[in-house]
RNA sequence: GGGCAGGUACCCAAGCGGUCAACGGGGGCAGACUGUAAAUCUGCUGGCUAAGCCUUCGGAGGUUCGAAUCCUUCCCUGCCCA
Protein backbone atom coordinates (compact mmCIF):
# COMPACT_ATOMS: atom_id res chain seq x y z
CA UNK A 1 0.00 0.00 0.00
CA UNK A 2 2.75 2.45 0.88
CA UNK A 3 5.69 3.25 -1.35
CA UNK A 4 9.16 2.43 -0.04
CA UNK A 5 10.44 4.95 2.50
CA UNK A 6 13.20 6.17 0.22
CA UNK A 7 10.78 6.87 -2.57
CA UNK A 8 8.42 8.72 -0.27
CA UNK A 9 11.30 10.75 1.09
CA UNK A 10 12.14 11.91 -2.38
CA UNK A 11 8.76 13.59 -2.69
CA UNK A 12 8.65 14.80 0.87
CA UNK A 13 12.03 16.51 0.67
CA UNK A 14 11.06 18.60 -2.32
CA UNK A 15 10.70 22.24 -1.44
CA UNK A 16 11.17 21.82 2.31
CA UNK A 17 13.33 24.08 4.40
CA UNK A 18 14.11 21.62 7.18
CA UNK A 19 13.17 18.16 8.31
CA UNK A 20 13.94 17.65 11.96
CA UNK A 21 15.27 15.04 12.35
CA UNK A 22 15.41 13.52 8.91
CA UNK A 23 16.73 10.08 9.94
CA UNK A 24 13.81 9.67 12.29
CA UNK A 25 11.39 10.41 9.49
CA UNK A 26 12.82 7.58 7.49
CA UNK A 27 12.36 5.25 10.43
CA UNK A 28 8.76 6.32 10.87
CA UNK A 29 8.01 5.91 7.20
CA UNK A 30 9.48 2.44 7.22
CA UNK A 31 7.54 1.45 10.33
CA UNK A 32 4.33 2.80 8.86
CA UNK A 33 4.91 0.78 5.71
CA UNK A 34 5.58 -2.41 7.65
CA UNK A 35 2.52 -1.99 9.84
CA UNK A 36 0.48 -0.67 6.93
CA UNK A 37 -0.55 2.21 9.14
CA UNK A 38 -0.71 5.78 7.82
CA UNK A 39 1.23 8.48 9.63
CA UNK A 40 -0.70 11.27 11.28
CA UNK A 41 0.35 14.53 9.64
CA UNK A 42 -0.68 17.64 11.50
CA UNK A 43 -1.21 21.14 10.24
CA UNK A 44 -2.50 23.83 12.51
CA UNK A 45 -4.49 26.64 11.03
CA UNK A 46 -5.12 30.01 12.49
CA UNK A 47 -8.76 30.92 12.11
CA UNK A 48 -8.27 34.55 13.03
CA UNK A 49 -7.23 35.28 9.47
CA UNK A 50 -9.60 33.35 7.29
CA UNK A 51 -8.35 34.49 3.90
CA UNK A 52 -5.90 32.02 2.47
CA UNK A 53 -3.30 33.05 -0.03
CA UNK A 54 -0.49 31.55 -2.07
CA UNK A 55 1.78 31.67 0.96
CA UNK A 56 -0.50 29.29 2.85
CA UNK A 57 -0.69 27.16 -0.23
CA UNK A 58 2.96 26.18 0.09
CA UNK A 59 2.37 24.22 3.25
CA UNK A 60 -1.08 23.02 2.20
CA UNK A 61 0.42 21.57 -0.95
CA UNK A 62 2.90 19.67 1.16
CA UNK A 63 0.07 18.28 3.24
CA UNK A 64 -1.69 17.26 0.06
CA UNK A 65 1.44 15.44 -0.96
CA UNK A 66 1.30 13.39 2.21
CA UNK A 67 -2.32 12.55 1.44
CA UNK A 68 -1.29 11.36 -1.97
CA UNK A 69 1.33 9.16 -0.35
CA UNK A 70 -1.46 7.57 1.68
CA UNK A 71 -1.03 9.31 5.03
CA UNK A 72 -3.63 10.83 7.31
CA UNK A 73 -3.95 14.61 7.18
CA UNK A 74 -5.26 16.29 10.31
CA UNK A 75 -6.19 19.90 10.09
CA UNK A 76 -6.36 21.53 13.47
CA UNK A 77 -8.54 24.57 13.65
CA UNK A 78 -7.12 26.72 16.41
CA UNK A 79 -10.45 27.93 17.65
CA UNK A 80 -9.30 27.91 21.26
CA UNK A 81 -5.89 29.40 20.56
CA UNK A 82 -7.63 31.87 18.30
CA UNK A 83 -9.47 33.19 21.31
CA UNK A 84 -6.18 33.67 23.11
CA UNK A 85 -4.74 35.68 20.25
CA UNK A 86 -1.20 35.56 18.91
CA UNK A 87 0.51 33.58 16.23
CA UNK A 88 4.17 33.54 15.32
CA UNK A 89 5.64 36.62 13.82
CA UNK A 90 2.83 38.91 14.81
CA UNK A 91 4.11 41.61 17.03
CA UNK A 92 0.74 42.73 18.20
CA UNK A 93 -1.79 41.07 20.35
CA UNK A 94 -4.68 39.98 18.24
CA UNK A 95 -8.28 40.76 18.87
CA UNK A 96 -9.87 37.92 20.75
CA UNK A 97 -12.53 36.13 18.78
CA UNK A 98 -15.57 34.41 20.10
CA UNK A 99 -15.87 30.66 19.74
CA UNK A 100 -18.69 31.21 17.29
CA UNK A 101 -16.54 33.39 15.04
CA UNK A 102 -13.61 31.03 15.07
CA UNK A 103 -15.94 28.19 14.13
CA UNK A 104 -17.19 30.10 11.13
CA UNK A 105 -13.68 31.04 10.13
CA UNK A 106 -12.62 27.44 10.52
CA UNK A 107 -15.30 26.33 8.10
CA UNK A 108 -14.29 29.00 5.64
CA UNK A 109 -10.64 28.00 6.01
CA UNK A 110 -11.49 24.43 5.19
CA UNK A 111 -13.55 25.44 2.18
CA UNK A 112 -10.59 27.35 0.79
CA UNK A 113 -8.04 24.71 1.72
CA UNK A 114 -10.14 22.18 -0.14
CA UNK A 115 -8.94 23.73 -3.34
CA UNK A 116 -5.65 22.10 -2.51
CA UNK A 117 -6.34 19.26 -0.10
CA UNK A 118 -8.40 16.18 -0.72
CA UNK A 119 -11.35 16.99 1.53
CA UNK A 120 -12.56 13.42 1.72
CA UNK A 121 -9.29 12.38 3.31
CA UNK A 122 -8.85 15.30 5.67
CA UNK A 123 -9.73 15.05 9.32
CA UNK A 124 -10.70 18.35 10.88
CA UNK A 125 -10.56 18.90 14.60
CA UNK A 126 -11.04 21.95 16.77
CA UNK A 127 -8.53 22.37 19.55
CA UNK A 128 -11.12 23.81 21.95
CA UNK A 129 -12.17 20.17 22.22
CA UNK A 130 -9.21 19.34 24.46
CA UNK A 131 -7.83 22.74 25.44
CA UNK A 132 -11.22 24.01 26.61
CA UNK A 133 -11.82 21.48 29.39
CA UNK A 134 -8.31 21.76 30.86
CA UNK A 135 -8.26 22.78 34.52
CA UNK A 136 -5.85 25.32 35.93
CA UNK A 137 -3.92 22.44 37.46
CA UNK A 138 -3.57 20.85 34.06
CA UNK A 139 -2.20 24.07 32.68
CA UNK A 140 0.30 24.35 35.50
CA UNK A 141 1.47 20.78 34.94
CA UNK A 142 1.84 21.51 31.24
CA UNK A 143 3.82 24.66 31.98
CA UNK A 144 6.15 22.67 34.24
CA UNK A 145 7.39 20.79 31.21
CA UNK A 146 9.41 23.70 29.92
CA UNK A 147 11.26 26.75 31.20
CA UNK A 148 10.95 30.50 30.91
CA UNK A 149 14.36 30.76 29.29
CA UNK A 150 13.33 28.25 26.66
CA UNK A 151 10.14 30.10 25.82
CA UNK A 152 11.83 33.47 25.75
CA UNK A 153 14.26 31.98 23.31
CA UNK A 154 11.69 32.23 20.63
CA UNK A 155 12.74 34.83 18.14
CA UNK A 156 9.57 36.76 18.25
CA UNK A 157 9.52 37.03 22.03
CA UNK A 158 13.22 37.80 22.23
CA UNK A 159 13.03 40.71 19.83
CA UNK A 160 9.86 42.13 21.28
CA UNK A 161 11.35 41.90 24.73
CA UNK A 162 14.55 43.58 23.57
CA UNK A 163 12.56 46.39 22.04
CA UNK A 164 10.48 46.99 25.13
CA UNK A 165 7.33 45.91 23.38
CA UNK A 166 4.52 44.40 25.38
CA UNK A 167 4.22 40.63 25.61
CA UNK A 168 1.06 39.33 27.23
CA UNK A 169 1.66 36.51 29.70
CA UNK A 170 -0.89 34.40 27.87
CA UNK A 171 1.17 34.67 24.71
CA UNK A 172 3.91 32.64 26.36
CA UNK A 173 1.40 29.83 26.68
CA UNK A 174 0.68 29.76 22.99
CA UNK A 175 3.53 27.42 22.01
CA UNK A 176 2.46 25.12 24.83
CA UNK A 177 -1.11 25.07 23.61
CA UNK A 178 0.04 24.22 20.12
CA UNK A 179 2.29 21.50 21.50
CA UNK A 180 -0.63 20.10 23.45
CA UNK A 181 -2.45 19.74 20.14
CA UNK A 182 0.28 17.40 18.96
CA UNK A 183 -0.13 15.34 22.12
CA UNK A 184 -3.91 15.24 21.73
CA UNK A 185 -3.87 13.87 18.20
CA UNK A 186 -0.63 11.88 18.60
CA UNK A 187 0.97 13.57 15.64
CA UNK A 188 3.73 11.76 13.79
CA UNK A 189 4.61 14.75 11.70
CA UNK A 190 3.81 18.44 11.97
CA UNK A 191 4.07 20.86 9.08
CA UNK A 192 4.54 24.59 9.24
CA UNK A 193 6.36 27.57 7.82
CA UNK A 194 9.92 28.23 8.94
CA UNK A 195 8.47 30.85 11.30
CA UNK A 196 6.75 27.98 13.10
CA UNK A 197 9.95 26.10 13.87
CA UNK A 198 9.95 26.98 17.53
CA UNK A 199 6.36 25.93 18.05
CA UNK A 200 6.86 22.71 16.14
CA UNK A 201 9.88 21.82 18.24
CA UNK A 202 7.92 22.55 21.39
CA UNK A 203 5.58 19.82 20.20
CA UNK A 204 8.47 17.36 20.34
CA UNK A 205 9.44 18.49 23.81
CA UNK A 206 5.96 18.15 25.25
CA UNK A 207 5.23 14.88 23.52
CA UNK A 208 8.39 13.44 25.01
CA UNK A 209 7.49 14.73 28.44
CA UNK A 210 4.14 13.02 28.05
CA UNK A 211 5.78 9.74 27.15
CA UNK A 212 4.75 9.90 23.51
CA UNK A 213 6.81 9.27 20.40
CA UNK A 214 8.05 12.61 19.12
CA UNK A 215 6.76 14.16 15.96
CA UNK A 216 8.93 15.03 13.00
CA UNK A 217 8.96 18.73 12.29
CA UNK A 218 8.90 19.75 8.67
CA UNK A 219 9.25 23.42 7.85
CA UNK A 220 8.60 25.03 4.51
CA UNK A 221 9.98 28.28 3.17
CA UNK A 222 7.96 31.42 3.57
CA UNK A 223 6.85 32.69 0.20
CA UNK A 224 7.72 36.28 -0.58
CA UNK A 225 4.84 38.56 -1.45
CA UNK A 226 4.30 40.64 -4.57
CA UNK A 227 6.81 43.23 -3.44
CA UNK A 228 9.54 40.60 -3.44
CA UNK A 229 10.82 41.66 -0.05
CA UNK A 230 8.39 40.90 2.73
CA UNK A 231 6.65 37.62 3.29
CA UNK A 232 3.30 37.30 1.65
CA UNK A 233 0.62 38.44 4.03
CA UNK A 234 -2.75 39.99 4.00
CA UNK A 235 -1.85 42.80 6.31
CA UNK A 236 0.97 43.90 4.01
CA UNK A 237 -1.41 43.67 1.09
CA UNK A 238 1.17 41.90 -1.03
CA UNK A 239 -0.76 38.68 -1.40
CA UNK A 240 -2.71 36.65 -3.92
CA UNK A 241 -5.79 35.07 -2.38
CA UNK A 242 -6.73 31.53 -3.31
CA UNK A 243 -10.24 32.63 -4.11
CA UNK A 244 -9.32 35.78 -5.97
CA UNK A 245 -10.77 36.37 -9.40
CA UNK A 246 -8.67 34.94 -12.23
CA UNK A 247 -7.99 38.38 -13.70
CA UNK A 248 -6.70 39.63 -10.37
CA UNK A 249 -4.51 36.59 -9.90
CA UNK A 250 -3.05 36.89 -13.33
CA UNK A 251 -2.38 40.60 -13.06
CA UNK A 252 -0.87 40.37 -9.62
CA UNK A 253 1.43 37.57 -10.68
CA UNK A 254 2.76 39.65 -13.54
CA UNK A 255 3.63 42.40 -11.12
CA UNK A 256 6.09 40.33 -9.11
CA UNK A 257 9.75 41.21 -9.54
CA UNK A 258 11.50 39.10 -12.16
CA UNK A 259 13.79 37.66 -9.50
CA UNK A 260 10.82 35.91 -7.93
CA UNK A 261 9.62 34.07 -11.01
CA UNK A 262 11.51 30.88 -10.33
CA UNK A 263 10.73 30.96 -6.64
CA UNK A 264 7.04 30.95 -7.40
CA UNK A 265 7.40 28.08 -9.85
CA UNK A 266 9.20 26.11 -7.19
CA UNK A 267 6.91 26.79 -4.26
CA UNK A 268 3.53 27.72 -5.63
CA UNK A 269 2.94 25.65 -8.75
CA UNK A 270 2.44 22.03 -9.63
CA UNK A 271 5.17 22.26 -12.25
CA UNK A 272 6.97 18.96 -12.60
CA UNK A 273 10.11 18.77 -10.50
CA UNK A 274 12.09 17.78 -13.57
CA UNK A 275 11.08 20.96 -15.34
CA UNK A 276 12.27 23.24 -12.59
CA UNK A 277 15.90 23.62 -13.73
CA UNK A 278 14.75 24.49 -17.22
CA UNK A 279 12.26 27.02 -15.90
CA UNK A 280 14.99 28.59 -13.85
CA UNK A 281 17.01 29.19 -16.98
CA UNK A 282 14.09 30.56 -18.92
CA UNK A 283 13.12 32.92 -16.13
CA UNK A 284 16.54 34.48 -16.39
CA UNK A 285 16.64 34.71 -20.17
CA UNK A 286 13.09 35.64 -21.09
CA UNK A 287 11.42 36.95 -17.97
CA UNK A 288 8.38 38.37 -19.69
CA UNK A 289 7.21 35.17 -21.38
CA UNK A 290 8.14 32.99 -18.46
CA UNK A 291 6.20 35.21 -16.11
CA UNK A 292 3.15 34.96 -18.33
CA UNK A 293 3.49 31.19 -18.18
CA UNK A 294 3.74 31.35 -14.42
CA UNK A 295 0.66 33.52 -14.18
CA UNK A 296 -1.25 31.22 -16.52
CA UNK A 297 -0.18 28.12 -14.61
CA UNK A 298 -1.22 29.39 -11.20
CA UNK A 299 -4.46 30.85 -12.47
CA UNK A 300 -5.24 27.51 -14.09
CA UNK A 301 -4.54 25.63 -10.86
CA UNK A 302 -7.25 27.55 -9.05
CA UNK A 303 -9.69 28.48 -11.79
CA UNK A 304 -9.17 26.10 -14.66
CA UNK A 305 -7.86 26.38 -18.18
CA UNK A 306 -10.58 28.58 -19.68
CA UNK A 307 -10.46 31.17 -16.93
CA UNK A 308 -6.69 31.35 -17.18
CA UNK A 309 -6.91 31.99 -20.88
CA UNK A 310 -9.44 34.76 -20.56
CA UNK A 311 -7.47 36.29 -17.70
CA UNK A 312 -4.58 36.65 -20.08
CA UNK A 313 -6.76 38.27 -22.70
CA UNK A 314 -8.14 40.61 -20.07
CA UNK A 315 -4.65 41.60 -19.01
CA UNK A 316 -3.42 42.26 -22.53
CA UNK A 317 -6.44 44.34 -23.18
CA UNK A 318 -6.65 46.50 -20.09
CA UNK A 319 -3.03 46.78 -19.07
CA UNK A 320 -1.02 46.47 -22.24
CA UNK A 321 -3.43 48.10 -24.67
CA UNK A 322 -5.20 50.16 -22.02
CA UNK A 323 -8.65 49.35 -23.34
CA UNK A 324 -11.91 49.12 -21.47
CA UNK A 325 -12.62 45.58 -20.25
CA UNK A 326 -15.78 43.66 -21.12
CA UNK A 327 -17.48 43.27 -17.85
CA UNK A 328 -17.52 46.49 -15.90
CA UNK A 329 -20.09 47.34 -13.29
CA UNK A 330 -23.01 49.53 -14.24
CA UNK A 331 -24.21 52.39 -12.16
CA UNK A 332 -27.47 54.26 -12.38
CA UNK A 333 -27.22 57.67 -10.72
CA UNK A 334 -30.07 58.79 -8.50
CA UNK A 335 -32.36 61.16 -10.39
CA UNK A 336 -31.67 64.83 -9.78
CA UNK A 337 -33.88 67.86 -10.13
CA UNK A 338 -32.52 69.26 -13.34
CA UNK A 339 -31.27 66.00 -14.83
CA UNK A 340 -27.60 66.77 -14.41
CA UNK A 341 -25.08 65.44 -11.94
CA UNK A 342 -21.79 66.86 -10.72
CA UNK A 343 -18.75 64.89 -11.80
CA UNK A 344 -17.36 64.54 -8.29
CA UNK A 345 -20.68 63.40 -6.89
CA UNK A 346 -20.99 60.86 -9.65
CA UNK A 347 -17.54 59.41 -9.03
CA UNK A 348 -18.14 59.04 -5.33
CA UNK A 349 -21.68 57.72 -5.65
CA UNK A 350 -20.60 55.14 -8.16
CA UNK A 351 -18.00 53.94 -5.67
CA UNK A 352 -15.06 54.87 -7.86
CA UNK A 353 -13.65 57.27 -5.29
CA UNK A 354 -13.88 57.31 -1.53
CA UNK A 355 -14.86 60.96 -1.16
CA UNK A 356 -15.46 64.08 -3.16
CA UNK A 357 -12.09 65.34 -2.05
CA UNK A 358 -10.37 62.27 -3.39
CA UNK A 359 -12.36 62.59 -6.62
CA UNK A 360 -11.33 66.23 -6.96
CA UNK A 361 -7.66 65.38 -6.55
CA UNK A 362 -7.85 62.59 -9.09
CA UNK A 363 -9.50 64.86 -11.62
CA UNK A 364 -6.77 67.41 -11.08
CA UNK A 365 -4.16 64.74 -11.65
CA UNK A 366 -5.69 63.72 -14.94
CA UNK A 367 -6.81 60.31 -13.76
CA UNK A 368 -10.44 60.60 -14.79
CA UNK A 369 -11.78 59.89 -18.25
CA UNK A 370 -15.29 59.96 -19.70
CA UNK A 371 -15.55 57.63 -22.68
CA UNK A 372 -11.79 57.70 -22.99
CA UNK A 373 -11.50 61.45 -22.89
CA UNK A 374 -9.56 63.00 -20.07
CA UNK A 375 -11.46 65.46 -17.89
CA UNK A 376 -9.81 68.31 -16.02
CA UNK A 377 -12.76 70.31 -14.77
CA UNK A 378 -13.84 69.10 -11.34
CA UNK A 379 -16.91 71.33 -11.46
CA UNK A 380 -18.21 69.64 -14.56
CA UNK A 381 -21.96 69.08 -14.60
CA UNK A 382 -22.99 66.11 -16.66
CA UNK A 383 -26.26 66.09 -18.53
CA UNK A 384 -27.46 62.57 -17.93
CA UNK A 385 -30.19 62.58 -20.54
CA UNK A 386 -27.84 63.67 -23.27
CA UNK A 387 -24.77 61.59 -22.36
CA UNK A 388 -25.83 58.24 -20.98
CA UNK A 389 -24.73 55.62 -21.44
CA UNK A 390 -21.05 56.37 -21.03
CA UNK A 391 -17.98 54.85 -19.40
CA UNK A 392 -16.15 56.50 -16.54
CA UNK A 393 -12.61 55.46 -15.85
CA UNK A 394 -10.46 56.37 -12.87
CA UNK A 395 -6.80 55.49 -13.12
CA UNK A 396 -5.95 52.26 -14.84
CA UNK A 397 -8.27 49.89 -13.15
CA UNK A 398 -11.47 51.49 -11.95
CA UNK A 399 -14.35 51.56 -14.38
CA UNK A 400 -18.08 52.06 -14.34
CA UNK A 401 -20.69 52.22 -17.05
CA UNK A 402 -23.14 54.98 -16.30
CA UNK A 403 -26.66 54.17 -17.37
CA UNK A 404 -30.05 55.68 -16.95
C1' G B 1 2.89 50.22 45.63
C1' G B 2 6.98 54.13 44.30
C1' G B 3 10.03 56.62 40.44
C1' C B 4 10.85 57.60 35.24
C1' A B 5 9.63 57.62 29.95
C1' G B 6 5.73 57.32 26.51
C1' G B 7 0.39 57.17 23.92
C1' U B 8 0.12 62.08 17.22
C1' A B 9 -3.46 60.50 10.83
C1' C B 10 -3.13 53.25 7.59
C1' C B 11 2.13 52.27 10.03
C1' C B 12 6.73 54.55 11.95
C1' A B 13 7.76 59.32 13.62
C1' A B 14 8.48 65.08 14.24
C1' G B 15 5.89 68.98 16.62
C1' C B 16 5.79 71.03 22.77
C1' G B 17 0.71 77.93 23.24
C1' G B 18 -0.96 80.96 17.59
C1' U B 19 2.11 80.86 11.07
C1' C B 20 -0.92 72.96 12.46
C1' A B 21 -5.22 69.36 8.75
C1' A B 22 -0.16 68.91 11.66
C1' C B 23 7.63 68.10 9.09
C1' G B 24 9.87 63.51 7.38
C1' G B 25 9.83 58.21 6.04
C1' G B 26 6.97 53.79 4.76
C1' G B 27 2.56 52.29 2.57
C1' G B 28 -1.44 53.65 -0.73
C1' C B 29 -3.36 56.35 -5.06
C1' A B 30 -2.39 59.07 -9.65
C1' G B 31 0.66 60.88 -13.88
C1' A B 32 4.99 59.83 -17.09
C1' C B 33 7.76 55.80 -18.69
C1' U B 34 7.76 50.30 -19.32
C1' G B 35 6.95 43.51 -21.38
C1' U B 36 4.45 44.40 -16.47
C1' A B 37 -0.24 46.08 -11.92
C1' A B 38 7.85 45.80 -11.51
C1' A B 39 11.81 49.53 -11.25
C1' U B 40 12.52 54.78 -11.75
C1' C B 41 10.94 59.98 -11.72
C1' U B 42 6.93 63.54 -10.36
C1' G B 43 2.49 64.76 -7.78
C1' C B 44 -1.38 63.64 -4.23
C1' U B 45 -2.61 61.32 0.39
C1' G B 46 -9.16 64.05 6.88
C1' G B 47 -14.37 65.61 5.35
C1' C B 48 -17.61 69.27 2.98
C1' U B 49 -19.59 71.45 -4.76
C1' A B 50 -14.75 74.04 -0.80
C1' A B 51 -9.93 81.13 -1.45
C1' G B 52 -14.63 79.38 3.45
C1' C B 53 -16.40 75.86 6.99
C1' C B 54 -16.37 71.21 9.98
C1' U B 55 -13.91 67.05 12.61
C1' U B 56 -8.89 65.04 14.23
C1' C B 57 -3.21 64.52 17.88
C1' G B 58 -5.29 58.00 24.25
C1' G B 59 -10.49 59.48 27.22
C1' A B 60 -12.95 63.31 30.13
C1' G B 61 -12.72 68.06 32.23
C1' G B 62 -10.12 72.90 32.81
C1' U B 63 -6.74 77.45 31.92
C1' U B 64 -6.43 80.90 27.61
C1' C B 65 -8.75 85.61 22.84
C1' G B 66 -6.43 80.86 21.02
C1' A B 67 -4.18 74.04 22.92
C1' A B 68 -1.55 68.32 19.60
C1' U B 69 1.31 71.75 22.68
C1' C B 70 -0.11 74.21 29.71
C1' C B 71 -3.08 72.15 34.22
C1' U B 72 -6.30 68.23 36.62
C1' U B 73 -8.00 63.41 36.39
C1' C B 74 -8.76 58.65 34.29
C1' C B 75 -7.21 54.63 30.89
C1' C B 76 -3.17 52.12 28.35
C1' U B 77 2.32 50.68 27.31
C1' G B 78 7.57 50.14 28.52
C1' C B 79 11.80 50.62 31.93
C1' C B 80 13.89 50.82 37.01
C1' C B 81 12.89 49.89 42.28
C1' A B 82 9.71 47.00 45.77
Sorted by sequence, the CB contacts under 8 Å of residue A37 that are 6+ apart come out as none
Which pLDDT score, from 0 to 100, does residue A148 have? 87
Average pLDDT over residues A112-132: 92
- For residue A270, the 8-state DSSP code is -
- For residue A346, the 8-state DSSP code is H
Question: For domain A330-402, which architecture applies?
Answer: Roll (3.10)
* Nearest nucleotide from residue A362 CA, by C1' atom: B30
Average pLDDT in chain A: 88
- Asked if A308 and A296 count as a contact pair (C-beta separation under 8 A), the reply is yes
Average pLDDT over residues A263-288: 88
Q: What are phi and psi of A147, to 5 degrees?
A: -125, 160
Residue A392 CA, nucleotide B71 C1', distance (Å): 55
Domain residue ranges of chain A, discontinuous segments joined by +: 5-220, 246-321, 330-402
Residue A356 CA, nucleotide B68 C1', distance (Å): 27
Which pLDDT score, from 0 to 100, does residue A259 have? 87
Domain A5-220 has CATH 3.40.50.300: no
E strands, A91-228, are: 122-126, 189-193, 216-220
* Nearest nucleotide from residue A247 CA, by C1' atom: B37
- Asked if A21 and A160 count as a contact pair (C-beta separation under 8 A), the reply is no
Residue A90 CA, nucleotide B6 C1', distance (Å): 22
Give domain A246-321's CATH superfamily: Tyrosyl-Transfer RNA Synthetase (1.10.240.10)
Instruction: Find, among A61, A126, A127, A31, the residue nearest to A269 by Cα.
Output: A61
- Asked if A48 and A82 count as a contact pair (C-beta separation under 8 A), the reply is yes
- Name the residue with the least CA to C1' distance from nucleotide B79: A164
Which pLDDT score, from 0 to 100, does residue A165 have? 82
User: CB-side exposure of A394: number of CA atoms within 13 Å?
Assistant: 20
Instruction: Find, among A125, A96, A97, A94, the residue nearest to A110 by Cα.
Output: A125
Which pLDDT score, from 0 to 100, does residue A96 have? 55
- Asked if A190 and A202 count as a contact pair (C-beta separation under 8 A), the reply is no
Distance of CA A382 to the CA centre of its chain: 43
- Name the residue with the least CA to C1' distance from nucleotide B11: A236
* Nearest nucleotide from residue A163 CA, by C1' atom: B78
Q: What is the CA radius of gyration of chain A?
A: 26
Residue A331 CA, nucleotide B74 C1', distance (Å): 49
- Tell me the longest C-alpha to C-alpha distance in chain A: 84
Average pLDDT over residues A249-273: 90
For residue A342, give the 3-state DSSP assignment.
strand
Asked, colleague to colleague, whether A246-321 and A330-402 share their fold, the answer is: no
Give the separation between CA A200 and CA A216, rounded to whole angstroms: 9
The alpha carbon dihedral of A60, A64, A65, A71 has a sign of: positive
* Nearest nucleotide from residue A357 CA, by C1' atom: B47
* Nearest nucleotide from residue A345 CA, by C1' atom: B49
Distance between start and end Cα atoms, chain A: 66
Chain B footprint bases within 7 A of protein beta carbons: 27-32, 35-39, 43-50, 77-79
Position A98 confidence tier, pLDDT thresholds 50, 70, 90: low
Give the separation between CA A396 and CA A335, rounded to whole angstroms: 28
Give the separation between CA A369 and CA A343, rounded to whole angstroms: 11
Average pLDDT over residues A328-332: 89
For residue A239, give the 3-state DSSP assignment.
coil
| Model confidence at A160: pLDDT above 90 | no
Q: Among A98-107, A157-166, A277-286, which is the least confidently predicted range? A: A98-107
Which pLDDT score, from 0 to 100, does residue A304 have? 92
Residue A266 CA, nucleotide B24 C1', distance (Å): 40
* Nearest nucleotide from residue A319 CA, by C1' atom: B37
Give the separation between CA A174 and CA A127, rounded to whole angstroms: 12
Give the separation between CA A102 and CA A120, rounded to whole angstroms: 22
- Name the residue with the least CA to C1' distance from nucleotide B6: A164
Residue A174 CA, nucleotide B38 C1', distance (Å): 39
Instruction: Find, among A321, A319, A295, the residue nearest to A309 by Cα.
Output: A295
Average pLDDT over residues A392-404: 90
Share of chain A above pLDDT 70, in %: 95
Give the separation between CA A112 and CA A95, rounded to whole angstroms: 23
Q: What is the pLDDT of residues A47-95, one digit of tens each?
A: 766 788 999 999 999 999 999 999 999 999 888 887 665 543 344 444 4
Average pLDDT over residues A5-33: 91
Give the separation between CA A240 and CA A249, rounded to whole angstroms: 6
Position A338 confidence tier, pLDDT thresholds 50, 70, 90: confident
Residue A88 CA, nucleotide B80 C1', distance (Å): 29
Q: What are phi and psi of A306, to 5 degrees?
A: -65, -45
Amino acid sequence: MFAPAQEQLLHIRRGTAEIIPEEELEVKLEASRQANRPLVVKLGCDPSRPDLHLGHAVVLRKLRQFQDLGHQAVLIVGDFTGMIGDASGQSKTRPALTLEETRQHGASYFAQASRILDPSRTRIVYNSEWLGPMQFGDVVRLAMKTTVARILNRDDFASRYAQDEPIGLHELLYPLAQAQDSVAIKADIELGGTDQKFNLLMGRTIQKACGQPQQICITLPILEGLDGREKMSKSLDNYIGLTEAPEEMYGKLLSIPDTLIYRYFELATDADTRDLPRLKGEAAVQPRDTKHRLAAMITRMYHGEAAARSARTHFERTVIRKEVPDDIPSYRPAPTGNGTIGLLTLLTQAGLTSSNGAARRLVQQGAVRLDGERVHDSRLEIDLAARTPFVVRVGKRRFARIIR
